[in-house]
A and B are shown apart, each in its own frame.
Chain A
Amino acid sequence: MMSRESGLYRFWNDYSRNRVAVVSVVIILVLVGLALSAPLIMPQDPYDLSHLVLRDARRPPGYVGTGGYTHWLGTDAQGRDLLSAIAYGLRISLQMGVIATGLALAIGATVGCGAAFLGGRVESLVMRIVDLQLSFPAMLLAFVIAAVLGQGKSQLILALIFAQYAYFARTAHGAAAAERRKDYIEAALSIPLSSWRVIRRHILPNALPPLIVVATVQVASAISLEATLSFLGVGLPPTAPSLGMLIANGFKYLLSGRYWISIYPGLALILFIVAINMVGDQIREQLNPRLRW
């Protein structure tokens, strides 16, 4: 275990030289912490209708409501505390983003590595389908799937997986095709080990670094996709308000001076996505094979 630890230690050592990336990690940790602990630390459960008082609706930031606590970011049209709503919304956005990206990664990596390993017609067929899919914007694909399947968490996750897996498949295929030609794969085949074992134990771990980079960026894009779909009304149901839904709800008040209903959820979303992208960029820089070891 020593070497892993010292490897991780070295990794962090290099990573911490980029201050923006370190700040991004802190932002992500704070936002994730906020999302995970929302039920414990937030004054209000925005889903519990009994907590909502209509008299408190559309109050500006700093307003002290009937509940006796301050609404630091104001309230929305239903009288929901926006800070609480953002924390709960982040929870759902994060959940969607991580689950969808994780599944898309698993599916895409298997498809890509398998195609690269098997080669021949299987490879051509699978990768042409992937290419075909990549030629459509992810947004469009996700929108169509979400519209067909209807609202709901699992429907949305399916839509996100379908929109994303092709990126992972393409990346995994490229990395695996490069690994496929190396001697250690021939060595494994000459023992002989089974194809499945060679893919799982040899090709996949070596194709992983670029996939990790793509995965970090894809979590961000899944979250923004989800927010977009929810904003457009084909994503999550109103009972599970995500950040996108919050933005959509406040949208109509934007020009009436009640900016906070839309802006604060939007800021949280932007902050989160930018921070994830910064971290992804730095990891990509460090996993660049030319700079390794």
Chain B
Amino acid sequence: MVTSPLLDINGLKTHFPTSRGLVKAVDGISFSIGEGEVLGLVGESGSGKTMTGFSIIGLLDKPGRIVAGSIKLQGRELVGLSARELRGIRGKSISMVFQDPLMTLNHVLTVGTQIRLALQAHERLSAAQARKRAIDALALVRIAEPQRKVDFYPHQFSGGMRQRVAIAIALLHRPKLIIADEPTTALDVSIQAEILAEMKELVAKVGTALIWISHDLAVVSSLAQRVAVMETGRIVEIGDTHDVLTNPQHDYTKRLLNALPSRSTPGQLLARRADVRDAAPPPRQPRKAQATAIGEPFLVLDSVSKQFGKTPGLVRSAAVRAGLVEPESPVRAVDGVSLTLHRGEVLGLVGESGSGKSTLGRIAAGIVVPSSGSVRLGGAPMMSKDKAPRKITTAVQTVFQDPFSSLNGRMRIGDIIAEGPLAHGLIKPSSVGGYVAQWLAAVGLDPGFADRYPHQFSGGQRQRVAIARALAMQPDVVICDEPVASLDVSIQAQIINLLIQLRRDLDLSFIFISHDLSVVRHLCDRVAVMYRGQIIEQGRTSEIYQAPSQAYTRRLLAAVPALPAAAVSTN
């Protein structure tokens, strides 16, 4: 290039001295980005991609600091600038969009006020001018009725709209560079698709350069001209997006790509790291002959509904009766759903946030009592018939989304796994050690880990513990609620493989709840699509994916960001 690049980073090192040693968050990276260029920065959690962004914009939290290297914006060195000088650049020349707009927007100010404050940080202008600019900014990111919406508070917007507002604020001063840190990760696929398309347009229209930080290769590939892959603080590969994805040079990039379910034949094991061992799960407790044969209806949900809503208090119900107040309409999270899980199958339950899929999963798992309808397992009811119904079977177990909150941090993992089986007499106290060791081995963990605490493990390892806890109850059905959503791609592949193997070995039936359609296609025999508390379509996975009958399903499928076709076929 003849002209100097917009941003030139050379040998950047950002270190965090902590009480447990030096953390090299960014460890000597170099790259440059031209005017109007879109660069994707990809890596798994802990790879340093976010810290790279924070280093550029000068928002490092103490004790982190840049220890070496340079960051040049249009030839001007940014490393070593004072806080004041950095403030002059931040928001004006470089701005940032964060993952969670609920955290970055101020809850008690209207969107218009927040835009005015952002404007006045760098310009002098009147309230009327600011309001007009705010309306224009909202219109630019395609918020309908900007004249009205400018007076809204953040909570009055949906997640996607909030992220649009955040983008509008980032664009206010027409910055040279926007750093977007996983801005669509918290959003539904269809909204993600909209924002990606709009972002592409905006960048072209406004002419800003964009660094798009993401863990999702597919998202990056749809947007970026070049992509940089980060691992443990270093850039291991950088180049043209298409080249990197179709012809990866570095082993780490290859591993990342191979771990994606969308690149693999459904039902097959995904490529994975070599550090996971296979071990046979412990033998099942002999129990009475299973009445339901493989392929027969097993877990049957019969027109279940669940309404959430406060039971009105004394004053309110009196006021309602007197006709003074409208009765509060309850939210129908699940609205008359009938669903049948056949023995031995994996049933995928997909839908966007708020569709009621999690609530339905909790009803199937016996955690939530349905307002009406019934759940039967092999013909027998799941819940007791009391006034406060309780789950009376151990044959249905659950794996939750977040392995950080689903394990009790004050119990050793051996106790976590053994607690249920002991309480239900599946094992004797004398055989706890061996039983726990077998299950830890079966989920690919070292049996010696039994006396450690959850916080000593990574997310993927914790999820294995959670799976071991569910399976140690020797269930027939396992409800998995987004079990891989909070995990990195390579760890996600391990967990998916584990589920595939355990299913083969143990004749389990699964309900697999997910918003990730590529994972569902990989794992599930049948799919049910949920929308606004109802199941609008269900059928064999291959049929639904190839010929969806509902418009909503088609939209959902079309919104899934895809790798370039060439990248998918190279395997």
Which A residues form the contact surface with B (CB < 8 A)? 1, 3, 182-184, 186-194, 197, 201-202, 205-206, 293
Contact = CB atoms under 8 A, between A and B. Distances in A.
Contacts of B469: 187
A186 B367 contact: yes
B398 A190 contact: yes
Contacts of A194: 423
Question: For the complex, would chain A's binding face be called helix, strand, loop or mixed by DSSP majority?
Answer: helix
Contacts of B106: none
B354 to A, nearest CB: 19
Contacts of A184: 405-409
Contacts of B392: 192
Contact of A187 (B390, B455, B466): B466
B400 interface: yes
A190 B397 contact: yes
Interface string B394-429: 101110111001111111000000011001100000
Contact of A201 (B394, B411, B424): B411
Interface size range on B against A: 20 to 34
Contacts of A191: 394, 397, 419-420, 423-424, 473
A13 B81 CA distance: 36
Contact of A192 (B394, B405, B410, B451): B394
Given A3-B456, A186-B367, A206 B397 contact: no
Given A3-B453, A190-B365, 6 more contacts: A3-B456, A183-B401, A183-B406, A189-B367, A191-B397, A192-B391
A197 B423 contact: yes
A190 B408 contact: no
23 contacts: A1-B451, A183-B401, A184-B407, A184-B408, A184-B409, A186-B367, A186-B398, A186-B400, A187-B398, A187-B400, A187-B406, A187-B469, A190-B365, A190-B367, A190-B396, A190-B398, A191-B397, A191-B419, A191-B424, A192-B366, A192-B391, A201-B419, A205-B411
B410 A205 contact: yes
A220 to B, nearest CB: 27
Nearest to B402: A183
A183 B358 CA distance: 13
B452 interface: yes
Contacts of B397: 190-191
Interface in B431-489: 451-453, 455-456, 466, 469, 473
B265 to A, nearest CB: 33
A206 B410 CA distance: 7
Nearest to A189: B367
A211 B177 CA distance: 50
A194 B424 CA distance: 10
Contacts of A293: 455
Contacts of B456: 3
The 10 closest A-B pairs by CB, nearest first: A183-B406, A191-B420, A183-B405, A205-B410, A192-B391, A190-B398, A184-B408, A183-B400, A190-B367, A187-B406
Contacts of A205: 408, 410-411
A293 to B, nearest CB: 6
A193 B426 CA distance: 13
B423 A193 contact: yes
Contacts of A206: 408-410
Interface string B361-384: 010011100000000000000000
Nearest to A179: B408
A184 B454 CA distance: 12
Nearest to A205: B410
B411 to A, nearest CB: 7
Nearest to A182: B405
Contacts of B408: 184, 188, 201-202, 205-206
A197 B419 CA distance: 10
A193 B394 CA distance: 10
A1 B455 CA distance: 15
B477 to A, nearest CB: 12
A94 to B, nearest CB: 29
A197 B424 CA distance: 12
Nearest to A195: B390
Contacts of A189: 367, 391
A188 B424 CA distance: 13
Contacts of A190: 365-367, 391, 396-398
Nearest to B469: A187
B554 to A, nearest CB: 33
Contacts of B410: 205-206
A182 B407 CA distance: 9
**By CB atoms of chain A within 10 A, which of B362, B406, B451, B456 has the most?**
B406
A225 B362 CA distance: 49
A1 B450 CA distance: 12
Nearest to B311: A120
Nearest to A194: B423
Interface string B224-255: 00000000000000000000000000000000
